[in-house]
Amino acid sequence: MVRFAFAAAVAAAVASVSTALPLADTPAAAAGGQLAFSLPSSDSSASSLVAHLDLADSFATLKPCQRKKLEQWVAGLPEQRLVKLGEDEAPIWITEGEKALLTMAGRRFVDVTDEDEQLTVAVAESEPFPNKLTYKKADLQPLFDHVSLGKMRKFLTLFSGFRTRHYRSDTGKQSQHFLLGQIKQIAAKSKNPDQKIKIREFKHSWGQNSIIVEIAPKAASAEATVSDAMFIVSAHQDSTNLLPFLAAPGADDDGSGSTSLLAAFASLVHSGFVPSARPVTLAWWSAEEGGLLGSKEVAQDYAKRGVKIHAMQQIDMSAYVKPGTEEAIGVIEDFVDPELTQYIKRVVENYADIPWVATKCGYACSDHASFSAIGARSSFTIESTFENSSKDIHSTRDTINAEGFSFDHMKEFSKVAIAMAVELGGGENLFA
Ligand SMILES: *[C@@H]1O[C@H](CO)[C@@H](O)[C@H](O)[C@H]1NC(C)=O
């Protein structure tokens, strides 16, 4: 999840960076929209990104060594990147290192450097979502029963045990290899020869690769037809701390969504599931915290190759239940496809043990935005209303031992992912 606010006061103060920035007044802006950046220790120029992000209070809380490390981090990643801070805002140039400052200020952003806007609608498919679900909760109960809280705990304990899963870190690369190994182990247990599972790494320049698993469809009978437009369900594997060089267990954000998805995959494999209507794809994106970098590259690649997408569901944070609140599945209603979102609500009503609750998250909140950008219908489920989601993300407090952290809650998201895969992917082969 791209964090909403470092602190409420900071969030209010940075309501809109690009409108606050006197871009036209600076020579650099006139020369191509570049922002002059300098940390306050060296030069508190009024036109600096720092000044406009109003990070003074945040910097004041840093220890001198942290400040030095932050300066080194920013200086060490000078590559120019084009980022967007809002739907209707013009993109601005910053450096890869300066992204850390946006994160500190609680700003959401999308890295659009390599985005080809012409690729929009290339993959849209106007097949409506059915009004009625095909199966009953009891039909899928054996699949739900296979979701093991113990296995989820074991995996997430190790996954959140990496010092950080930051997309540029060595441990972020190691955690990706660990996840890949777990996925391969699960797939190797398949007992159905008709179950064709393709596991691939989508290579990214920064080191931590996205992992994409495709379960190929097979028509249930000679007369039946199969669509080539896939259903994608996903989470993001990377984590970050507000200061990118600090430890980031990321148990909730988004270790939990990654785990819910892994458990759903294990259950689908174990059941012998072969989609009868369309391909089902599971993905663990890299570098969500870098401005949706991983999902953006993959979505652009799909669009370029003319790969068709029926629907996309992102799971970002699935563990935290704020003490004193009613447990529910948050269904995000802004920057998503309204029909798919209605459909997900029906799936939750039919298959989950807890209700859904409608909520909003704002611009570029998670990887579904990369798919909306190419015209694919996307949706987003989260642990609660956005307001009541965990405030410990992007810190060393985001562990499985945090108060309110619930594996039972994570399992509800696994169930919804399984149900979406069977309902949209087609379950005829499963129930033949
Ligand atoms: C958040 O949780 C509190 C209880 O802690 C509840 O009263 C409130 O309605 C919730 N807010 C939202 C927007 O869900």
| Per-residue pLDDT tens digits for 182-200 | 999 999 999 999 999 999 9
Q: Identify the band that residue 3 occupies on the pLDDT scale cut at 50, 70 and 90.
A: low
Residues 6 or more apart whose CB falls under 8 angstroms from that of 91 comprise: 82, 83, 84, 112
Burial class (CB in 10 A: 0-12, 13-18, 19+), 370: buried
How many angstroms separate the CA atoms of 270 and 265, rounded? Answer: 8
Task: Please tell me whether residue 273 adopts helix, strand or coil conformation.
Answer: coil
Q: Contact at 8 Å (CB) between 407 and 319?
A: yes
Dihedral, 180, 183, 189, 191 alpha carbons, nearest 10: -120
Ligand 1 atom with the smallest distance to the CA of 323 is: 5
Q: Whose CA is nearest to atom 9 of ligand 1?
A: 325
Please give all residues whose beta carbon lies within 6 A of any atom in ligand 1, as ranges.
322, 324-325, 385, 387-388
Among 65-74, 207-216, 243-252, the range scoring the smallest mean pLDDT is 65-74
User: How far away, in angstroms, is 322 Cα from ligand 1 center?
Assistant: 9
Phi then psi for residue 26, to 5 deg, are -95, 140
Q: How many residues does the chain have?
A: 432
Nearest to 316 by CA among 205, 420, 392, 234: 234
More confident residue, 201 or 33: 201
Q: Which amino acid is at 363?
A: Y
Q: Whose CA is nearest to atom 6 of ligand 1?
A: 325
Is residue 36 scored above 90 in pLDDT?
no
Tell me the per-residue pLDDT of 364-421, one tens digit each, with 9 for 90 and over: 899 999 999 999 999 999 999 999 999 999 999 999 999 999 999 999 999 999 999 9
Task: Please tell me whether residue 212 adopts helix, strand or coil conformation.
Answer: strand
Phi then psi for residue 344, to 5 deg, are -60, -40
Q: Whose CA is nearest to atom 3 of ligand 1?
A: 325
Which residues in 268-301 are b (16+ Cβ under 10 Å) and which e? bbbbebbbbbbbbbbbbbbbbbbbbbbbbbbbbe
Gyration radius of the chain over CA positions:
21
Residues 6 or more apart whose CB falls under 8 angstroms from that of 207 comprise: 167, 168, 172, 173
Burial class (CB in 10 A: 0-12, 13-18, 19+), 382: buried
Distances (CA, A) of 64 to 54, 61, 68, 98: 19, 9, 6, 19
User: How far away, in angstroms, is 101 Cα from ligand 1 center?
Assistant: 30
Is residue 30 scored above 50 in pLDDT?
no
Q: Contact at 8 Å (CB) between 224 and 370?
A: no
Q: How far apart are the first and last CA of the chain?
A: 39
pTM of the model: 0.89
Q: Contact at 8 Å (CB) between 133 and 117?
A: no
User: How far away, in angstroms, is 80 Cα from ligand 1 center?
Assistant: 41
User: How far away, in angstroms, is 6 Cα from ligand 1 center?
Assistant: 20
Sign for the CA dihedral angle at 351, 354, 360, 365 comes to negative
- The secondary structure of residue 354, as a DSSP letter, is S
Ligand 1 atom with the smallest distance to the CA of 385 is: 14
How many angstroms separate the CA atoms of 256 and 263, rounded? Answer: 11
Residue whose pair of structure tokens reads 């969500």 in the numeric block? 288
Is residue 44 scored above 60 in pLDDT?
no
Which one of 320, 321, 325, 327 would you pick to mutate in the ligand 1 pocket, going by the greatest count of ligand atoms within 8 A of its CB?
Answer: 325
Task: Please tell me whether residue 367 adopts helix, strand or coil conformation.
Answer: coil
How many angstroms separate the CA atoms of 85 and 172, rounded? Answer: 25
User: How far away, in angstroms, is 106 Cα from ligand 1 center?
Assistant: 21
Is residue 334 scored above 90 in pLDDT?
yes
User: How far away, in angstroms, is 391 Cα from ligand 1 center?
Assistant: 14
How many angstroms separate the CA atoms of 23 and 34, rounded? Answer: 9
Q: Across the chain, what does the average pLDDT equal?
A: 88
User: How far away, in angstroms, is 8 Cα from ligand 1 center?
Assistant: 17
Is residue 275 scored above 70 in pLDDT?
yes
Which one of 387, 389, 403 would you pick to mutate in the ligand 1 pocket, going by the greatest count of ligand atoms within 8 A of its CB?
Answer: 387
Is residue 18 scored above 70 in pLDDT?
no
User: How far away, in angstroms, is 401 Cα from ligand 1 center?
Assistant: 22
- DSSP H helices in 123-233: 137-145, 149-159, 170-188
Ligand 1 atom with the smallest distance to the CA of 387 is: 13
Average pLDDT over residues 170-188: 98
Q: Contact at 8 Å (CB) between 416 and 352?
A: yes
Q: Contact at 8 Å (CB) between 204 and 286?
A: yes
